[in-house]
């Protein structure tokens, strides 16, 4: 297997720290808000990576943390006038629901930051004792100039960097020093430490939790491309300065964009997963997110997701036709083509792997047309083997239990699209009464239309009561 390692900026052969085992730490959610499609791409991408290691026979330990305390969580809690943990727990549940909805396997461990304050305090003490950390005015900072390799992951020079955070510069030795611990402020949650009450900085959390669950050295650290700096850079500095070898490989997934911009709450262009899956089948949304290479930017639109969904339905259709011919029980998860495995071994090249999958489906359809039952069954089993790796097998959980509902949703979508087309035609000929009648008729059965620059979108009106 070969992986692109951000730290070396090269594709490297994968050599596990311990033969037959893989330890992965993925930076998970900061739960200040419910997840949009951009947030969830990381979970889906690393779910495929984790599944591939398992398919290759590795015993995988997969840690995905939850950051349940930070400035934005506190800001939102203050705005709502509720405790910080109310915001954190509500949004953590929304993330869990999104992961489950999109077929992500649960992590081996899912630690929360606030549950690991003792480990953070111990790590900061080690750094202070080693001359890399210092306390000032109730805060604890990391001295970046003391760590000679600072900037190596992101390829930056220290003197070109901006100040690290919004803490008062006079409390720091250097404006680029970053806070590992933030002194208590009135009304904020606080924990006791030898340097005063306060709360953890973002970066110390992951260094402490990775060491606790995976040890001082582990195989892979992952996360979104936006985490390379400062978060992952600072993790490396903390952990290695404390004497840990830390991660051997660094993997980063690219962003989901809308109109060429990174999807984010601040841009106001986010698409919440809970909303998207009311109009897009979850399995088809996963197929869309999986279909691009994990290091490639992915431009989101409902139209592109529907295109991906059509491709996925062709795979489903072949499996159903094969099942009608040979029986579903005769189509077990089978051996994958060697070309598929070669693609996945090459830095998880899913687009090339999907090309093999679709070629297998085409061959299977040809076999069905020719009456070659044995070849059709073999192709169907191989197809299921490939889909299983990608978390897309329609006959496996979580998709098998939702298929009847998903099929109904697909039919509803097709019918609504016909109505939308008729409304567009009515508006084009300036028959606004007919266009309004179509819109109002859909509204009466709970379907709400929204006119956007890219065309009309529809969603189901929330219903209450029995």
Cβ atoms of residues 350 and 291 within 8 Å: yes
Please indicate, yes or no, if residue 328 is contained in any of the structural domains. Answer: yes
Residues 390 and 425 grouped into a single domain: no
3-state SS of 111-128 is: CEHHHHHHHHHHHHHHHH
Residues 198 and 158 grouped into a single domain: yes
Q: Is the peptide bond before 311 cis (omega within 30 degrees of 0)?
A: no
pLDDT at 276 (0 to 100)? 92
Per the structure, how many domains does the chain have? 3
Residues 362 and 388 grouped into a single domain: yes
Task: Place 368 in a pLDDT band, splitting at 50, 70 and 90.
Answer: very high
Domain boundary among 258, 284, 311: 258
Is pLDDT above 80 for 190? Answer: yes
Please indicate, yes or no, if residue 291 is contained in any of the structural domains. Answer: no
pLDDT at 463 (0 to 100)? 41
Residues 141 and 241 grouped into a single domain: yes
Rounded to whole angstroms, the Cα distance separating 62 from 289 reads 20
Mean pLDDT over residues 431-446, rounded?
91
More confident residue, 165 or 278: 278
Please indicate, yes or no, if residue 357 is contained in any of the structural domains. Answer: yes
The token pair at 317 is: 């259709």
Average pLDDT, the chain: 92
Residues 131 and 91 grouped into a single domain: yes
DSSP string, 294-327: TTS-EE--HHHHHHHHHHHHHHHHHHHHHHHHH-
CATH number, domain with residue 121: 3.40.50.620
Rounded to whole angstroms, the Cα distance separating 10 from 259 reads 30
Residues 245 and 327 grouped into a single domain: no
What residues contact residue 430 under an 8 Å CB cut-off, 6+ apart? none
Please indicate, yes or no, if residue 205 is contained in any of the structural domains. Answer: yes
Domain boundary among 340, 367, 396: 396
Rounded to whole angstroms, the Cα distance separating 10 from 16 reads 17
pLDDT at 460 (0 to 100)? 64
pLDDT at 167 (0 to 100)? 53
Is pLDDT above 80 for 144? Answer: yes
pLDDT at 177 (0 to 100)? 95
Residues 97 and 207 grouped into a single domain: yes
pLDDT at 421 (0 to 100)? 86
The token pair at 332 is: 């077990």
Q: Smallest Cα–Cα separation from 267: which of 258, 255, 280?
A: 258
Cβ atoms of residues 365 and 318 within 8 Å: yes
Please indicate, yes or no, if residue 427 is contained in any of the structural domains. Answer: yes
Task: Place 410 in a pLDDT band, splitting at 50, 70 and 90.
Answer: low
pTM score, two decimals?
0.84
Domain boundary among 204, 235, 258: 258
Residues 446 and 390 grouped into a single domain: no
More confident residue, 350 or 413: 350
Residues 322 and 423 grouped into a single domain: no
**Residue-range definition of the domain harbouring residue 382:** 301-396
Task: Place 176 in a pLDDT band, splitting at 50, 70 and 90.
Answer: very high
Rounded to whole angstroms, the Cα distance separating 388 from 395 reads 9
Task: Place 449 in a pLDDT band, splitting at 50, 70 and 90.
Answer: confident
Whole-Å CA distances, 321 to 303, 375, 376, 377, 403? 27, 13, 10, 10, 16
Is pLDDT above 80 for 56? Answer: yes
Please indicate, yes or no, if residue 7 is contained in any of the structural domains. Answer: no
Q: Smallest Cα–Cα separation from 180: which of 160, 165, 200, 198?
A: 200
Q: Is the peptide bond before 230 cis (omega within 30 degrees of 0)?
A: yes
Q: Tens of pLDDT along 286-336?
A: 999 999 999 999 999 888 999 999 999 999 999 999 999 999 999 999 999
């Amino acid at each position: 297997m070969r992986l692109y390692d951000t730290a070396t900026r090269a594709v490297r052969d994968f050599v596990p720290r311990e033969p037959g085992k893989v330890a992965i730490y993925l930076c998970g959610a900061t739960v200040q808000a419910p997840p949009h499609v951009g947030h969830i791409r990381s979970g889906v991408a690393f779910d495929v990576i984790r599944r591939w290691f398992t398919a290759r026979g590795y015993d995988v330990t997969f840690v995905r943390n939850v950051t349940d305390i930070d400035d934005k969580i506190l800001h939102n809690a203050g705005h709502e006038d509720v405790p910080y943990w109310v915001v954190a727990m509500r949004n953590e549940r929304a993330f869990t629901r999104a992961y489950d909805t999109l077929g992500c396997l649960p992590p081996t461990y899912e630690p929360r930051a606030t549950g690991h304050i003792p480990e953070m305090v111990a790590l900061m003490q080690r750094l202070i004792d080693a001359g890399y950390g210092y306390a000032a005015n109730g805060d604890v900072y990391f001295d970046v100039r003391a760590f000679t390799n600072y900037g190596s992951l992101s390829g930056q020079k220290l003197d070109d960097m901006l100040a690290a955070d919004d803490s008062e510069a006079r409390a720091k030795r250097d404006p680029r020093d970053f806070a590992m611990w933030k002194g208590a402020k009135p009304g904020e949650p606080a924990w006791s430490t030898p340097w005063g009450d306060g709360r953890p900085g973002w970066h110390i959390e992951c260094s402490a939790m990775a060491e606790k669950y995976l040890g001082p050295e582990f195989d892979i650290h992952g996360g979104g491309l936006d985490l390379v700096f400062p978060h992952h850079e600072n993790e490396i500095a903390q952990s290695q300065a404390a004497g840990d070898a830390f991660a051997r490989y660094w993997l980063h997934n690219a962003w989901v964009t809308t109109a060429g911009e990174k999807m984010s709450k601040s841009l106001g262009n986010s698409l919440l997963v809970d909303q998207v899956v009311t109009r897009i089948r979850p399995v088809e949304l996963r197929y869309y997110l999986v279909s691009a290479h994990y290091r490639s930017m992915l431009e989101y639109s409902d139209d592109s997701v529907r295109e991906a969904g059509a491709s996925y339905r062709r795979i489903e259709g072949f499996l159903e036709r094969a099942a009608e011919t040979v029986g579903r029980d005769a189509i077990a998860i089978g051996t994958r083509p060697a070309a598929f495995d070669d693609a996945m071994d090459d830095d998880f090249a899913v687009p090339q792997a999907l090309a093999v999958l679709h070629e297998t489906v085409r061959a299977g359809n040809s076999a069905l047309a020719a009456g070659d039952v044995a070849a059709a069954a073999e192709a169907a089993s191989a197809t299921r083997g490939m889909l299983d790796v990608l978390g897309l097998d329609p006959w496996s959980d979580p998709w098998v239990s939702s298929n009847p509902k998903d099929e109904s949703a697909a039919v509803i979508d097709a019918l609504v699209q016909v109505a939308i087309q008729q409304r567009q035609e009515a508006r084009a000929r300036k028959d606004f009464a007919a266009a309004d009648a179509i819109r109002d008729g859909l509204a009466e059965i709970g379907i709400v239309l929204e006119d956007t620059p890219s065309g009309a979108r529809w969603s189901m009106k929330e219903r209450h009561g029995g």
